[in-house]
Structure 1
Amino acid sequence: MKLIYIKRSTRRERRYTKKMGMFSPKVTYIKKMVLGLPIRTLHKYRETYYGRVKDCHECSLAR
Structure 2
Amino acid sequence: MKLIQVKRETILEKRFTPKMGELKTKVTSIKKQFLGISIRTIHKYRETYYGKIKDCRDCELTR
TM-score (norm 2): 0.96
Q: What's the C-alpha RMSD, in Å, of the aligned pairs?
A: 1.0
Any unmatched runs of 5+ in structure 1?
A: none
Q: Secondary structure at the match of 2:29?
A: strand
Shift of 1:51: 0.3
TM-score (norm 1): 0.96
Structure 2 contact 14–62 (Cα < 8 Å) conserved: no
> Identity across aligned pairs (percent)?
62
Q: Secondary structure at the match of 2:61?
A: coil
Residues 22-41 of structure 1 aligned to structure 2 (within 5 Å): 22-41=22-41
C-alpha deviations, 1:14-57, integer Å up to 9, x for none?
A: 00000000001100000000000000000000000000000000
Any unmatched runs of 5+ in structure 2?
A: none
Shift of 1:61: 1.3
Hey, what's the Cα distance between the residues in 2 that align with 1:61 and 1:38? Answer: 21
The count of residues paired between Structure 1 and Structure 2 equals 63
Find runs of 4+ consecutive structure 1 residues off by over 6 angstroms. Answer: none
**1:2 equivalent in structure 2:** 2
- Relative to its length, the structure with more strand (as a share) is 2
**2:42 equivalent in structure 1:** 42
